[in-house]
Amino acid sequence: MKNKITTIAFDADDTLWANESYFQEAEKQFCLLLENYLPQHTVSQELFATEMKNLHLYGYGIKGFMLCMIETANRISENTVPIEIINQIIAIGHELLQKPVELLPGVTETLTQLKGNYRLVVATKGDLLDQERKLKNSGLEDYFHHIEIMSDKKEKDYRKLLKHLDCTPDHFMMLGNSLKSDILPVLELGGFGVHIPYHVTWTHEQHEVNLEHERFIALQKVDEILGHLG
């Protein structure tokens, strides 16, 4: 079955390079800034509630995250938060937008092995400019035939991607760290899904499930895929 695969798509954040750990660090700084108003873990819950409320308006990415931090600070301080704290929140966001791109172990080796034998694609959510920056700084651009920055990763979004790639689901494999966004919609569609967990997962992407499926593969590290492709 797997020898039918022609196109392999990679999620970017927490699959090709580190991301969620940077967000969690930023969130910790934010919660510390506001601990005079509420305990840190409550600030964190409030921020998550703001993010979920605004997701349909902002989509995924750092800019939306910055606006959500500011909105949360205003709400929990009842609009009394000093402008210095707002400036510090903006600084946290700017710092996130300039983080170095740290490739995950095995990524370059895997792409080098696969390039030439498969059509390689990046399929990621996030802010357009930020994802383009990371891709450029990653040095991985040349491995990929196509880069798709998606507003969401539901079944219909993958269907659109496959149409664009002129690829049928049975020839398509997607690798990623999120069962919810990278694997389940692709399996649903008839493609192959390969899960490689990252050590931290954003609450919104968490999905507790013991997945068993004939087109599903669970790995610990990305280069293990080489042994499955033959």
Shortest spacing between CB 11 and Mg ion, in angstroms: 4
- Residue ranges with strand state E in 30-155: 119-124, 146-149
User: Least separation, in Å, of the C-beta of 222 and Mg ion?
Assistant: 12
Residue (14 or 127) nearer to Mg ion, CB:
14
Nearer to Mg ion by Cβ, of 11 and 148: the residue is 11
**Closest distance of CB 21 from Mg ion, Å:** 12
Closest separation in Å from C-beta 31 to Mg ion: 23
The residue (of 35 and 155) whose beta carbon lies closer to Mg ion is 155
- Give CA–CA dist 226/222, Å, rounded: 8
β-strand partners of 149: 124
Binding residues for Mg ion, per CB under 5 A? 11, 13-14, 177
Angle at 22 between CA 21 and CA 26, to 5 degrees: 115
Residue whose CB is less far from Mg ion, 7 or 177? 177
Q: How far is the CB of 230 from Mg ion (least distance, A)?
A: 26
Q: Which is nearer to Mg ion, 23 or 37 (CB)?
A: 23
C-alpha to C-alpha distance for 91 and 98, rounded to whole angstroms: 11
DSSP annotation of 98: T
- CA triplet 185, 176, 133: central angle to 5 degrees? 115
Least Å distance, CB 7 to Mg ion, is 19
Task: Tell me how crowded residue 7 is: count the other CB atoms within 10 A of its CB.
Answer: 21
- State which residue, 14 or 148, has the beta carbon closest to Mg ion: 14
Cα-based angle 219, 220, 223 (whole degrees, multiple of 5) = 75
| Contacts of the segment 199-205: beta carbons below 8 A, 24+ positions apart | 199/21, 200/20, 200/21, 200/24, 201/14, 201/20, 201/177, 202/20, 202/23, 203/48, 204/48, 204/51, 204/52, 204/55, 205/178, 205/180, 205/181
